[in-house]
Amino acid sequence: NAGVMQNPRHLVRRRGQEARLRCSPMKGHSHVYWYRQLPEEGLKFMVYLQKENIIDESGMPKERFSAEFPKEGPSILRIQQVVRGDSAAYFCASSPPMRRSQETQYFGPGTRLLVL
Amino acid sequence: DQQVKQNSPSLSVQEGRISILNCDYTNSMFDYFLWYKKYPAEGPTFLISISSIKDKNEDGRFTVFLNKSAKHLSLHIVPSQPGDSAVYFCAASAQGGSEKLVFGKGTKLTVNP
């Protein structure tokens, strides 16, 4: 029973390049969340998606960042024209389609993005 | 505006003793609370949770206590083991909204042999 999978685990980009981070949720899970962790900080919510729908993107920066969760395939977090401030650990979590009162999110190992 | 606060960045305890990690929150709409454990270079691992309709939840060596009037929760680990050394994050979610979790900054627990 594979857990949440993320790739790549490490990603190095130069300023101005694009970064694509992938997340495959646990089997049977249809809810995906992306969080970002800056050094010495807690995780900050970015976006919540269900298959083919963005449910809550209140934590996403207004520009350069986008996310999708297509009907087939992994969820993608895309960062265009990266800047040094985008350097962080990006975590994906998934949860099953159950009533929210008992919802638990399970996290992947994260992608560590370094912008040079 | 930090809605979930873990005021102790670090905690050191002796093996076999009790570890108590604290968490305070400000948003009265929070109704579900979770504790995650995180090792370096890994993702957070779910540890234990509690709904706001309860004041205590226990799972083996781990117990979470919730005091709604004080907007405070704590995680007790007893007995503490060296393998418990990690960063512990408190998280909360609010009724009526999306399912996003709001995290504290974490407490680094060190259990000394």
CA–CA dist B45, B37 (Å, integer): 5
In tens, the pLDDT along A3-32 reads 999 999 999 999 999 999 999 999 888 899
B17 CA: distance to closest CA in chain A (Å):
27
Helix (H, G, I), strand (E, B) or coil at A9: coil
Closest CB to B51 among A59, A101, A110: A101
pLDDT at position B96 is 61
The dihedral over CA atoms of B65, B67, B72, B77, expressed in degrees to the nearest 10, equals -10
Number of residues in chain A: 116
Mean per-residue pLDDT, A56-72 = 94
Is residue A74 within 8 angstroms of chain B, CB to CB? no
Find the residue in B nearest to A95 (Cα): B99
Between chains, do A4 and B43 touch, taking CB under 8 Å as contact? yes
Mean per-residue pLDDT, A86-111 = 84
Contact call for residues A27 and A96 (beta carbons, < 8 A):
no
Helix (H, G, I), strand (E, B) or coil at B83: helix
pLDDT at position A100 is 55
In tens, the pLDDT along B51-84 reads 999 999 999 999 999 999 999 999 999 999 999 9
A113 CA: distance to closest CA in chain B (Å):
12
- Within 13 A of A89's CA, how many CA atoms are on the CB side? 19
CA–CA dist A94, A34 (Å, integer): 9
pLDDT at position B41 is 87
Between chains, do A105 and B46 touch, taking CB under 8 Å as contact? yes
Q: What share of chain B in percent tops pLDDT 70?
A: 96
Residues on chain B touching A96 (C-beta within 8 angstroms):
none
Residue A102 has pLDDT above 90, yes or no: no
CA–CA dist A82, A56 (Å, integer): 23
CA–CA dist A11, B99 (Å, integer): 28
B103 CA: distance to closest CA in chain A (Å):
6
Contact call for residues B15 and B113 (beta carbons, < 8 A):
yes
CA–CA dist B48, A81 (Å, integer): 39
pLDDT at position B74 is 98
CA–CA dist B100, A27 (Å, integer): 20
Residue B99 has pLDDT above 80, yes or no: no
Place B85 in a pLDDT band, splitting at 50, 70 and 90: very high
CA–CA dist B81, B17 (Å, integer): 8
pLDDT at position B98 is 65
Q: What is the DSSP string of A45-72?
A: EEEEEETTEEEE-TTS-SSSEEEE--SS
A-B contacts (CB, under 8 Å) = 74
Is residue A67 within 8 angstroms of chain B, CB to CB? no
N-term to C-term CA, chain A: 37
Residue A46 has pLDDT above 90, yes or no: yes
Residue B88 has pLDDT above 60, yes or no: yes
CA–CA dist B74, B19 (Å, integer): 10
Is residue A25 within 8 angstroms of chain B, CB to CB? no
Q: Lowest mean pLDDT: which of A21-35, A48-62, A95-109, B77-91?
A: A95-109
In tens, the pLDDT along B12-23 reads 999 999 999 999
Best of B95, B101, B105 to substitute, by most chain A Cβ atoms within 10 angstroms, is B101
Between chains, do B101 and A35 touch, taking CB under 8 Å as contact? yes
Place A67 in a pLDDT band, splitting at 50, 70 and 90: very high
